[in-house]
Structure 1
Amino acid sequence: MKTLMRATAIGLALAVTAAAPAALAQAAPPAADTMFRATTLNLSAYGETKVAPDMATITLGVMTEGKTAAEAMQANAARMNAVVASLRKAGIPDKDIQTSNLNLNPQYRYQENQPPVLVGYQASNNVTVTVTDLKRLGPAVDATVSAGANQVHGISFGLSDPTGAENAAREAAVKALAAKADLYAKATGYRISRLVSLSEGGGYAPQPPMPMVAYAAKREMADAGTSISAGEMKVRVDISGLYELAR
């Protein structure tokens, strides 16, 4: 009798345990199921605004040669010091001047059926300059060329604070998304019930550097005065939205 009662108790416990998950599953809100049963519209759009840049970044280089590695490096260091001094004189603060990419490479003369012959060394060094007053950009380039910079690798324009332009692009993106959703809803015989989710992708990115001619042996360009036009740059924001539709 005791054995039978114990078996009955265990059976009841197992039944209650098995029933608990089922009860919880029934009590859980059917959000996912509702989502799949609803008619939804998944769209993307973008907003774009144009704004004049207020800063620029330019990379200049010094390339020198020498019969020995020390000679090439010494000549490069002297010329780069002159370039940096010219930038300071043009009103560029030290915090906006950064040297990089110091390289030293042996130079060989090649002849057919002969081993290469070492003829000297070539040293190169770059300086990246951030200009926050675009009126100083042209004079700064001219000053560096006059001081010995013989390579100009590229220039890119940007915004010191892109927040305002980004927000304007966001507003344009939301308006474009809402207009597209309304068009699709009407075309399919529905109306927009609610916006379920909204996500943003992308945003402000500085323009890639524009290639500029290397100034090697072209001092006459500096003498004529370098004219650089910043123009306008585009700030774009991409968004995606999920709308629920209703009849």
Structure 2
Amino acid sequence: MKLMMVITALLLSTCVWATPLPAQPHVYVEGSAEIEVEPDMMAFTLSIQTVDIDLAKAKADVDARSRLLIETVKKFGIKADDVATTALNIRPEYEYKENQRVLTGNNVSRQVDINLRDLKKYPEMMKALVDAKISETINTNLTLADKKAVEEKVQTAAMDDAKARAGRLAKSQGQTLGAPWSISEFNNRGNERWELTPNRQLMGSSAKEVGAMRMADSAEPFEPGVMKISAQVYVVYLLK
């Protein structure tokens, strides 16, 4: 009985996920596009952390460095909307001594995310953050301020590519391309249908982590380079 239930479930799953094709003549194509864009925003992530047996002292230190961070980034024209801080995270730390758990300190931390929209200010801002000794590590990530607009642009280009491909295939067989019967970001005829992951990517050498205390004496050479964003669409066109 259990085996029959499993088989039934698999059959139902296949029926749900499989995308049917039209009964009339059609052509099924993949359209793809890729464009290069220059990143226009640097996202900083800093973790402000202190461990102290005195919880109030640890919290005061994290609060003070948080205020210093906000004051530092304001000098570079960072708006309030481009600074996001998490609530304080407080957890006790222990170690075992003679089979007894002993409190060694209180770990107080907060994460701060900052968006720098003027990349020309990056070297100066990085140096200022390092000199202020706010955080032991600073994570940076080059990205796009309006990623959605670029995704829409490359998806439109992918649709244009799909239509051109379908038109060439139809013409080679003496057929005329009709209206699209289905359009999908998912490759419903492949394994991806089990994952349902949109087939689009933003790629580039865009992230790094620097040891904040090791670079305070030198300005950082900086070239943002380019990023590539790609998209695929899967379209079924009817034939006239």
TM-score, length basis structure 2: 0.72
Deviations 1:126-169 (A, max 9, x none): 21101111112232222122222223234241133753x44642
TM-superposed CA distance for 1:118, in Å, is 0.9
CA distance in 1, matches of 2:60, 2:177: 73
CA distance in 1, matches of 2:38, 2:177: 39
Q: Highest Rg: 1 or 2?
A: 1
Contact 2:183 2:236 in 1 (8 A): no
CA distance in 2, matches of 1:207, 1:72: 39
- Give the equivalent residue in structure 1 for 2:216: 222
CA distance in 2, matches of 1:244, 1:99: 52
Gaps of 5+ in 2: 1-21, 186-197
Query: Which of 190, 194, 213 lines up with 2:178 in the alignment?
Result: 194
- Give the equivalent residue in structure 2 for 1:107: 93
CA distance in 2, matches of 1:98, 1:236: 29
CA RMSD of aligned residues (A): 2.9
- Give the equivalent residue in structure 2 for 1:238: 232
SS of aligned partner of 1:178: helix
TM-superposed CA distance for 1:206, in Å, is 6.3
CA distance in 2, matches of 1:114, 1:161: 54
TM-superposed CA distance for 1:205, in Å, is 6.9
Q: Which has the larger share of helix?
A: 1
Task: Establish whether residue 210 from structure 1 lines up as the match of residue 196 from structure 2.
Answer: no
CA distance in 1, matches of 2:92, 2:180: 63
* Alpha carbons of structure 1 residues 122 and 170: separation in structure 2 relative to 1, 3 Å: closer
Task: Establish whether residue 138 from structure 1 lines up as the match of residue 123 from structure 2.
Answer: yes
Equivalent position amino acid for 2:136 in 1? N
The count of aligned residue pairs is: 205
TM-superposed CA distance for 1:58, in Å, is 1.4
Task: Establish whether residue 76 from structure 1 lines up as the match of residue 62 from structure 2.
Answer: yes
CA distance in 1, matches of 2:147, 2:139: 25
1:1-247 residue pairs with structure 2 within 5 A?
Answer: 36=23, 38-111=24-97, 113-147=98-132, 148-160=134-146, 163=149, 165-166=150-151, 168-185=153-170, 189-197=173-181, 199=183, 201=185, 202=198, 210-215=207-212, 218=213, 220-245=214-239
SS of aligned partner of 1:125: strand
Gaps of 5+ in 1: 1-34
Deviating beyond 4 angstroms after TM superposition, the runs of 4 or more aligned structure 1 residues are: 202-209
Equivalent position amino acid for 2:175 in 1? R
CA distance in 2, matches of 1:239, 1:204: 9
* Alpha carbons of structure 1 residues 170 and 128: separation in structure 2 relative to 1, 3 Å: same
* Alpha carbons of structure 1 residues 212 and 226: separation in structure 2 relative to 1, 3 Å: same
Equivalent position amino acid for 2:216 in 1? A
TM-score, length basis structure 1: 0.70
Contact 1:65 1:72 in 2 (8 A): yes
* Alpha carbons of structure 1 residues 52 and 204: separation in structure 2 relative to 1, 3 Å: farther
Contact 1:105 1:121 in 2 (8 A): yes
CA distance in 2, matches of 1:115, 1:166: 56
